[in-house]
Structure formats: C-alpha cells, structure tokens
Amino acid sequence: MRFDNLLDSVGGTPLVGLPRLSPSPDVRVWAKLEDRNPTGSIKDRAALKMVEQAEKDGLLRPGCTILEPTSGNTGISLAMAAKLKGYRIVCVMPENTSVERKQLLGMWGAEIVSSPAAGGSNEAVRVAKRLAEEHPDWVMLYQYGNPANALAHYEGTAPEIHADLPSITHFVAGLGTTGTLMGVSRYFREHKPDVRIVAAEPRYGELVYGLRNLDEGFVPELYDASLIDSRFSVGPRDAVRRVRELLELEGLFAGISTGAILHAALGQAAKAVKAGERADIAFVVCDGGWKYLSTGAYEGTVDEAEDRLEGQLWA
C-alpha cells in the first residue's frame, strides 16, 4: 500500500481473527489492530481529524501552539502531526503515566507540563483549562469534547470494521474520551442497529479517584449514554491476565488497556455461548505493549503485576 506521506497512512488497519481465544466457530472474536497506525495507537485517527478540522475552521494557523490534556497516546499522535505541520505543542500529562510515554512525547518535540498524580486525568484537564485561560492564543483541541474525535471513528474505524466483518454482532472498545465508542456506535446505529456497543472502562487504584469532592467528577462532553448498550469496569488484574493470554495464545503483544477491552469482549463471547447464539465480536487493540514494559505488567506473576500497577494510569 502506498501513501504520499505518513499522515495519509492513518487508519485502514487490519482486523484479525483470534481462533484460539474464540470459544467456538459460531462465536468468534476479532481484533482491530490500531497499533498499526503511524505512532502506534488508535489516537492517530482522532488527533489527525481534530487538527484537520481546526485548520478547516481557521482555528489553527501556521505558527500556532496546540495545547492538550492527555495521558499519553493522544499527545503523542498530536505531537507527530504538529511536527509535520509546523505547530508547537504543549501536553498536560498526569505524572503517574509510564516513562515511555514521556520519552515518546519528547522525541516528537512536545513540551510536557506535569499534573498531579492524585486525580489522574481529571487534574490534567483542570490544569490544561487553566493554561488555556492564561494563553488565549493557544489552541486547545480538547479531545473530551471535540466532535472531530468521534467523527474520525464514524468515518474511519466503523466502516472499516463493517466492510471486513459484515456479520458483526458486538463492538467492544475502551471508554476514555468516549470518542471511539460514540463514533463507531453512531455509524452502526445508522447502518446495522442490532450491533451491540460495549464499553470497557479501566478501574485504577484509589489514588486516581482521590478527588476532593464528588462534584469534581468528570464525564466527557462527548459522552452520550444512549449510544452504549453495556459498560464494564475492568481492574488491572483482569487486564493483565487477558493481555498475557493475548500474547500467549494469539501472539499479539498489546498494551494493558487492550487487556481490559479483551476481558469485556470475552465476557460477551461467554454470554453468547451460554445463550446458544452466534456472535462476531470485534474489539479494539488500542496500542502495542512497548510503552508499558517499564510498568512491569508483563513480568512475574499476575499478583506482582497488579501490585506494580497500583496508582499508575495504565490505560
């Protein structure tokens, strides 16, 4: 496949069957390999779409500074696009993210502002909003509320899966900004409304939920609960267990959040088997495991890995 430049190659990722993890020939699980994007994560889709839309709207002009709260992948994707398009970029990132994410952001030329570990991404959002007020000329693309984030999946991810797997019955993805689920769900609600949309939400250690009060909670502006059919909370233990199974049984080396998504996907598979129904379950491999080697998730026992992930933003 040939492209004129790297940005043109975003999307068009493979969908691969997982015959060993699928419970039966009638209930099959399929992995959408989003780690095959230019910077190695699904966020390339949203980042590129948000930048293009902001350019179209006249918000982003040559020499502009982009600002974004991110736990890593969106920042890395934006930094790559910013480098190629000549923008400066400042990322606000919680300090309890893996060291590889910071290294990669730096490599692509992003400036990093650290936000406190307690409160996780909520704090990154808060700090970014404050910076945006202090620097009115900076352009915050704001992945949590930018419709272009969901649009990237409505126009890209969803039709790609539909074309490759017309018999799809379930779509399972991670719930962070909610962009992937919102965009893909909108597409299937229009084109194949019987597809069940399942969200897997990472459950972190207590530190991340250590808000000062409940009213500081956060629901992304993009989120529309009516576009989701079920939502599961998956802790680090199940995520690590599944991500290791994926490697062991199918040879796929994925990031920890993908383990959480696979866990929810296999839950749906088990349900279909029990109900005696056929199912084709597509789930998202958000990124590869490379960025998480330092977390210790892939070494030692599952107990040890679970302990090491305590307090980290692993998804």
Q: Is 114 a catalytic residue?
A: no
CB 25 to another protein: min, Å = 28
Catalytic residue among 43, 49, 102, 291: 43
Name 17's bridge partners.
Answer: 30
Query: x/- binding map, residues 238-277, to another protein, per CB under 8 A?
Result: ----------------------------------------
CB 74 to another protein: min, Å = 6
Sign of CA dihedral 231, 237, 243, 245: negative
Name 254's bridge partners.
Answer: 288
CB 239 to another protein: min, Å = 12
Q: Which of the 8 DSSP states describes residue 263?
A: H
Stretch that binds another protein, among 12-20, 116-124, 246-254, 272-280 (CB under 8 A): 116-124
Instruction: Give 34 or 250: the residue with its C-beta nearer to another protein.
Output: 34
Beta strand 15-17 with 27-33: parallel, antiparallel or unpaired?
antiparallel
CB 2 to another protein: min, Å = 32
Name 170's bridge partners.
Answer: 196, 281
Note whether 39 binds another protein by CB under 8 A: no
Neighbouring C-beta atoms of residue 103, cutoff 10 Å: 11
Instruction: Give 165 or 264: the residue with its C-beta nearer to another protein.
Output: 264
Contact call for residues 47 and 180 (beta carbons, < 8 A): no
Query: Footprint of another protein on residues 44-103 (CB under 8 A)?
Result: 69-71, 74
Instruction: Give 93 or 161: the residue with its C-beta nearer to another protein.
Output: 93
175 vs 182: CA distance, rounded Å: 10
Stretch that binds another protein, among 29-37, 186-194, 201-209, 246-254 (CB under 8 A): 201-209
Find the DSSP H helices in 57-117.
73-85, 99-107
122 vs 217: CA distance, rounded Å: 8
**E strand or H helix at 214, and its extent?**
none
- What are the phi and psi torsion angles at 253 (to 5°)? -100, 105
Interface with another protein: number of residues (CB under 8 A)? 45
CB 143 to another protein: min, Å = 6
Query: x/- binding map, residues 202-241, to another protein, per CB under 8 A?
Result: xxx-x-xxxxxxxxxxxxx----x--xxxxxxx-------
Neighbouring C-beta atoms of residue 276, cutoff 10 Å: 8
User: Of residues 91, 124, 173, 252, which one binds another protein by CB under 8 A?
Assistant: 124
CB 257 to another protein: min, Å = 9
CA dihedral 103, 119, 67, 234 (to 10 degrees): 70
Contact call for residues 172 and 268 (beta carbons, < 8 A): yes
Query: x/- binding map, residues 155-174, to another protein, per CB under 8 A?
Result: -------------------x
Q: Is 257 a catalytic residue?
A: yes
Residue 272's Cβ-side half-sphere holds a number of Cα atoms within 13 Å equal to 22
85 vs 58: CA distance, rounded Å: 14
Instruction: Give 4 or 215: the residue with its C-beta nearer to another protein.
Output: 215
User: Of residues 11, 38, 40, 176, which one binds another protein by CB under 8 A?
Assistant: 176
Cα distances (Å, whole numbers) of residue 119 to 1, 96, 308: 43, 10, 18
Catalytic residue among 22, 98, 121, 257: 257
The residues of the shown chain that bind another protein, judged by CB under 8 A, are: 69-71, 74, 119-122, 124-125, 143-144, 174-177, 179, 199, 201-204, 206, 208-220, 225, 228-234, 315
Residues with a known catalytic role? 43, 257
